[in-house]
């Protein structure tokens, strides 16, 4: 390293460290607050909106902490492989963009491997120090052990825990790391959760009364309006000027993106991704109770004797019920739930309902799992070209939507392909039902539902009312997994956890609405 590099100075001045290695980089005010908090406080929790440089800041913190003390141990974690890749991508970008070579093969001190960095100290590889990344999965828990470094009496913190996308990191990771970490950086979007991230942010700062101006835990929120690019535009508007859209800090939210988000996002996503707040409104649910009340009210105005447009069938697994849902443009016409220990009854019931409600075979949709594919194959062999859908497959493109009512729904997602609005087919089907149930104003300005669900379907309502509204970081709707795989030790909340049972009635309904509104691409066989 250059002779001017003095780690003792840079330990307490991360901005000086940044200017030494990356003079082209700019940290804006809130990012600098985070960096200074890592110097002064034990834990720094950062609920932040999107496109505000969370991973950029965390990647820098990891290298600053690692290079300015010895020995040193850092563990980084995130919810998934892809999220951890983003964080380590930022670490790698800082390494390669430094004005002074940092990799050992280029004359620097860092020995860089996949999610694992060691360093050269006094000409030899240090076996004590390491910077490592692991996914926050239950089978990685043991990797959090062994990071303790004895107190050397000089007041220098030498162990750091970084949790990225913290809303999805289990409590156990926080508890185990708190036994050895001198410093913690907990950072992420405030998506709905009940873990330590939510609890600690809601509790607020925890002052260290033994040390004036210091905190055991410091909360720093970073909102979209903290972006220098947005802040400049808002200041120009306040002065009566037209905003220039100037980019003061590249890579963080622009005013153009901010105004687009304000226009298109619902209150829930605005709260999380713009205001850096855990949303507490009714819309934390995929189907708010008020929407379901309006859907019940709409059912009283309709005749139950209508021709069906489509039917969705969720066949029984284990002791569950098989469920048939018949729908048209106006809502649910009928839902039948029954035990089917004799699986031949599923074929007979399906054909009877097709005849009763005059439903074309191509608009009959089975869940591919749980025996649905076998039942569909039997019906196809009988000449009924029914469809199957796999809940876990990719979302469909917008051009497969049928004409008519769905056109207005498509316009709500800006005519973009559905695979960018939904994480997978399950999320897509439940998302389509959400759009159907979303209330509209009538000519008198009253909210009404254009999709009816009769109040007699209480189990269906119970299941729909419990479904959470969640988005990935890039804004795609997703649902929790239906069940845990056999043998899985994951503590991720599942739909079964929320309901206490399989969502048979809800799955059947979304199969039906999907079958009604999405035309088949392969009408005669196979998964569509």
- The top-scoring range by mean pLDDT among 122-136, 317-331, 413-427, 509-523 is 122-136
- Minimal CA–CA distance to 67: which of 18, 134, 23? 18
> Is pLDDT above 50 for 402?
no
Give residue for tokens 């051009």: 399
Give the Cα separation of 22 and 222 in Å (integer). Answer: 23
Give the pLDDT score at 266.
80
- Last residue of one domain, picked from the residues 191, 207, 222: 222
Tally the domains of the chain. Answer: 3
- Among 466, 478, 368, which Cα is nearest to 418's? 478
Q: What is the mean pLDDT of residues 352-358?
A: 96
Strands 310-314 and 364-367: parallel
Q: What is the DSSP track for 129-178? A: -EEEEEE--GGGGGGGSS------SS----EEEEEESGGGS-HHHHHHHT
In 467-494, which positions are buried (b, 16+ CB within 10 angstroms) versus exposed (e)?
bebbbbbeebbbbbbbeeeeeeeeeeeb
Burial of 446 (0-12, 13-18, 19+ CB in 10 A): exposed
* DSSP-derived pairing of the beta strands 331-338 and 116-121: unpaired
User: Averaged over 409-426, what is the pLDDT?
Assistant: 57
Residue 223 has which token pair?
A: 């909102």
Q: Determine, yes or no, domain membership for 137.
A: yes
Same domain, 428 and 304: yes
Query: CB-based burial of residue 157 (10 Å sphere; 0-12 exposed, 13-18 middle, 19+ buried)?
Result: middle
pLDDT in tens, 448-469: 999 999 988 988 998 998 898 8
Residue 418 covered by a domain: yes
| Same domain (yes/no): 154, 185 | yes
In a domain, 308, yes or no: yes
Structure tokens at 328: 């048209």
Residue 159 lies in a domain: yes
101, 190 Cβ separation under 8 angstroms: no
- Please tell me whether residues 173 and 24 are part of one structural domain: yes
User: Is 522 part of any domain?
Assistant: no
**Are residues 83 and 136 part of one domain?**
yes
265 and 303 both lie in a single domain:
no
Structure token pair of residue 115? 């999610």
Write the CATH number for 416. 3.30.420.240
Please state whether beta strands 447-448 and 440-441 pair in parallel, antiparallel, or not at all (unpaired). Answer: antiparallel
Q: Is 526 a domain residue? A: no
Q: What pLDDT band is residue 283 in, cutting at 50, 70 and 90?
A: low
For helices 344-357 and 372-381, give the axis angle rounded to 10 degrees.
60
Single out the residue in 200, 222, 244 at which a domain terminates. Answer: 222
Burial classification of residue 202, based on how many CB atoms lie within 10 Å of its CB (0-12 exposed, 13-18 middle, 19 or more buried): exposed
Same domain, 362 and 492: yes
* Angle ∠(273,426,79) on CA atoms, nearest 5: 45
Statement to judge: residues 27 and 123 lie in one domain: yes
CATH number at residue 199: 3.40.50.300
Strand partners, 73: 130, 159
Say yes or no: 257 and 298 in one domain.
no
Confidence (pLDDT) at 279: 82
pLDDT of 216 > 50? The answer is: yes
Q: Taking all residues of the chain, what is their mean pLDDT, rounded to a whole number?
A: 87
Print the SS3 string covering 70-112: CCCEEEEEECCHHHHHHHHHHHHHHHHHCCCCCEHHHCCCEEE
Tell me what pLDDT residue 429 has. Answer: 94
Q: Are residues 53 and 175 in the same domain?
A: yes
Note whether 322 and 442 are same-domain residues: yes
284 lies in some domain: no
Q: Which domain holds residue 240?
A: 225-279
Domain C-terminal end among 222, 249, 265: 222
Tell whether the model's pLDDT for residue 168 goes beyond 50. Answer: yes
Q: Which residue has the tokens 């239950």?
A: 138
139 and 49 belong to one structural domain? yes
Q: Let me know if residue 2 belongs to a domain.
A: no
Q: Exposed, middle or buried by CB within 10 Å (0-12, 13-18, 19+), for 198? A: middle
Q: What was the pLDDT predicted at 398?
A: 47
Residue 141 pLDDT grade (very low, low, confident, very high; cuts 50, 70, 90): confident
d(CA 103, CA 278): 40
**Cα–Cα distance between 52 and 461 in angstroms, integer?**
38
* Whether residue 255 sits in one domain with residue 194: no
pLDDT at 163 over 80: yes
Average pLDDT over residues 49-53: 94
């Amino acid at each position: 390293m250059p002779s001017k590099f003095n780690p003792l100075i840079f330990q307490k001045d991360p901005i000086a460290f940044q200017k030494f290695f990356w003079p082209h980089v700019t940290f804006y005010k809130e990012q600098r607050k985070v960096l200074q908090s890592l110097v002064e406080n034990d834990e720094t929790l950062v609920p932040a909106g999107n496109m505000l440089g969370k991973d950029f800041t965390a990647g820098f913190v990891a290298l600053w902490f690692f290079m300015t003390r010895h020995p040193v141990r850092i563990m980084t974690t995130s919810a998934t492989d892809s999220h951890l890749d983003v964080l380590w991508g930022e670490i790698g970008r800082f390494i390669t963009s430094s004005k002074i070579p940092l990799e050992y093969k280029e004359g620097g001190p860092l020995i860089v491997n996949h999610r694992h960095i060691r360093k050269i100290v006094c000409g030899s590889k240090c076996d004590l120090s390491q910077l490592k990344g692991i996914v926050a999965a239950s089978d990685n828990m043991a990797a959090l052990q062994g990071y303790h470094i004895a107190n050397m009496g000089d007041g220098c913190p030498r162990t750091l825990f970084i949790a990225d996308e913290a809303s999805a990191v289990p409590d156990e990771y926080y508890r185990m790391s708190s036994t050895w970490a001198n410093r913690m950086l907990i950072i992420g979007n405030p998506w709905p959760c009940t873990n330590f991230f939510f609890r600690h942010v809601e509790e607020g700062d925890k002052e260290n009364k033994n040390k004036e101006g210091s905190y055991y835990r410091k909360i720093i929120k970073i909102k979209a309006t903290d972006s220098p690019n947005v802040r400049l535009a808002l200041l120009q508007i306040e002065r009566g000027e037209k905003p220039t859209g100037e980019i003061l800090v590249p890579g963080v939210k622009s005013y153009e993106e901010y105004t687009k988000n304000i226009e298109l996002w619902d209150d829930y996503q605005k709260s999380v991704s713009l205001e850096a707040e855990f949303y507490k409104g009714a819309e934390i649910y995929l189907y708010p109770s008020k929407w379901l009340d309006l859907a019940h009210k709409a059912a009283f105005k309709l005749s139950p004797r209508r021709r069906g447009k489509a039917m969705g069938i969720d066949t029984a697994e284990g002791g569950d019920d098989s469920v048939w849902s018949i729908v048209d443009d106006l809502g649910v016409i009928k839902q039948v739930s029954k035990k089917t220990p004799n699986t031949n009854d599923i074929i007979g019931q399906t054909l009877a309902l097709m005849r009763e409600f005059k439903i074309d075979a191509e608009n009959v949709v089975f869940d591919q799992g749980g025996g649905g594919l076998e039942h569909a194959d039997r019906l196809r062999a009988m000449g009924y070209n029914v469809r199957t859908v796999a809940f876990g497959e990719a979302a469909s493109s917008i051009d497969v939507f049928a004409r008519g009512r769905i056109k207005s729904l498509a316009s709500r997602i800006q005519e973009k392909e559905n695979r960018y609005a939904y994480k997978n087919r399950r999320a897509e089907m439940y998302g389509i039902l959400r759009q159907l149930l979303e209330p509209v104003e009538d000519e008198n300005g009253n909210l009404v539902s254009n999709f009816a669900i009769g109040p007699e379907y209480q189990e269906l309502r119970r299941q729909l009312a419990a479904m959470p509204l969640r988005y990935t970081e890039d804004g795609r709707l997703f649902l929790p997994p239906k069940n845990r795989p056999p043998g899985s030790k994951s503590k991720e909340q599942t739909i079964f956890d929320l309901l206490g049972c399989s969502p048979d009635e809800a799955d059947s309904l979304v199969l039906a609405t999907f079958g009604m509104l999405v035309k088949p691409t392969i009408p005669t066989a196979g998964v569509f």
